[in-house]
């Protein structure tokens, strides 16, 4: 093994892993995907440093993060050290893991992270996060999505509802099922709901034909570097249209079918081109409904259902 290769391996084994996330003390130790990635990184010799987005500062050409080193002890508990400031150019990896919404604050942090040197690998790539809107990216794959309308026009929205009888109305930049509403053409509240959405979401909103297969579950497919690691169904509670685990959905096993693989293969080149290394696809029946790139989750469900440690795939793909 050459000295150069030895140096690269040594650097990877002692990688500085900076994690931009919500405060560690609000994350679930048992189920949070960010912590599972961090724990596996520590097992591979990485040093972990956490900071919140509001603790990121650009100062005279330096990108500084105020946070703390942390580790998992032998009992799996989090142990954090004193607060300090890290110049992020010294990191090997910066993981963007704060929850959406993708608002001006989120957008600003991606622009700041653009100024890191090429020696720092930012995951997911900030430019890719700006290019791939989680709700709107699917519009580039019309063969894989249900009938869809994006508008702020009440009449166009009403016509769409009348044409499809049952629809799902959703904001463009919320997450975790927030703001999702089921409407049907006989609903007396249609105009009131559309007026409310226009006020709350002047940037526009999305309507999609309601897919009854959602009663069986909304499939989440986890991709690492464009390849599916695993999938599970998120089954909604009785009389609910939202199946997100956050609102009470239940994760159950599911196999990937031919259509799922076609969707993955169609999206993979674009995701890889834009540096979107960790992605969660949402599929209902045969239709792609969303592409999660800001802070994809689901590692705990893969581990519980199949004993798959997706964090291993995550780090092995990066050479750690």
Which of residues 173, 190, 210 is at a domain's end? 210
Segment 309-317 mean pLDDT: 97
Domain range for 55? 3-123
pLDDT surpassing 50 at residue 3: no
What share of the chain in percent tops pLDDT 90? 86
Token pair listed for 216 = 């069986």
**Measured between alpha carbons, how far is 290 from 123 in angstroms, rounded to an integer?**
19
Bridge partners of 168, per DSSP, are 182, 208
Segment 278-297 mean pLDDT: 96
Give 87-126 pLDDT, tens digit per residue: 999 999 999 999 998 999 999 999 999 999 999 999 999 9
Q: What pLDDT, on a 0 to 100 scale, did the predictor assign at position 236?
A: 76
- Burial (CB count within 10 angstroms: exposed 0-12, middle 13-18, buried 19+), residue 50: buried
Is residue 30 situated within a structural domain? Answer: yes
User: Please, what is the average pLDDT of the chain?
Assistant: 92
Query: Which residue blocks in 28-100 are alpha helix, DSSP H?
Result: 33-43
- Report the CATH number that the domain containing residue 67 is assigned in CATH: 3.40.50.20
Pairing of strands 218-224, 278-284: antiparallel
Residues catalogued as catalytic: 135, 170, 220, 234, 242, 282, 290, 292
Q: In terms of domains, do 254 and 195 share one?
A: no
- Burial (CB count within 10 angstroms: exposed 0-12, middle 13-18, buried 19+), residue 25: exposed
pLDDT surpassing 50 at residue 1: no
Give 204-250 pLDDT, tens digit per residue: 999 999 999 988 889 999 999 999 999 999 987 776 666 565 556 78
Segment 154-158 mean pLDDT: 96
Q: What pLDDT, on a 0 to 100 scale, did the predictor assign at position 249?
A: 72
């Amino acid at each position: 093994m050459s000295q150069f290769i030895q140096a690269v391996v040594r650097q990877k084994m002692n990688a500085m892993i900076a994690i931009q996330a919500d405060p560690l003390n609000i994350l679930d130790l048992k189920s949070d995907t960010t912590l599972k990635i961090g724990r596996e990184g520590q097992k591979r010799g990485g040093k972990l440093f956490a900071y919140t987005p509001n603790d990121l500062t650009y100062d005279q050409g330096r990108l500084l993060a105020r946070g703390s080193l942390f580790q998992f002890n032998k009992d799996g508990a989090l142990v954090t050290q004193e607060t300090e400031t890290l110049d992020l150019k010294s990191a090997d990896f910066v993981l963007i893991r704060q929850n959406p919404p993708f608002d001006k604050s989120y957008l600003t942090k991606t622009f700041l992270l653009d100024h890191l040197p090429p020696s720092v690998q930012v995951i997911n790539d900030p430019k890719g996060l700006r290019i791939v809107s989680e709700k709107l990216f699917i519009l580039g794959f019309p063969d894989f999505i249900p009938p869809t309308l994006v508008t702020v026009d009440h009449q166009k929205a009403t016509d769409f509802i009348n044409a499809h009888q049952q629809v799902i109305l959703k904001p463009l930049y919320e997450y975790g099922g927030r703001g999702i509403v089921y409407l049907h053409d006989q609903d007396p509240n249609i105009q009131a709901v559309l007026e409310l959405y226009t006020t709350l979401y002047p940037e526009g909103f999305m309507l999609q034909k309601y897919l009854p297969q959602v009663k069986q579950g909304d499939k989440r497919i986890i991709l690492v570097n464009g390849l599916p690691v695993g999938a599970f169904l998120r089954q909604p509670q009785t009389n609910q249209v939202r199946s997100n685990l956050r609102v009470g959905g239940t994760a159950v096993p599911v196999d990937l079918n031919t259509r799922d693989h076609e969707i993955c293969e169609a999206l993979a080149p674009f995701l890889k081109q834009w540096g979107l290394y960790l992605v969660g696809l949402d599929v209902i029946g045969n239709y792609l409904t969303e592409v999660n790139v800001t802070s994809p989750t689901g590692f705990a469900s893969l581990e519980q259902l199949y004993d798959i440690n997706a964090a291993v795939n995550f780090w092995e793909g990066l050479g750690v």
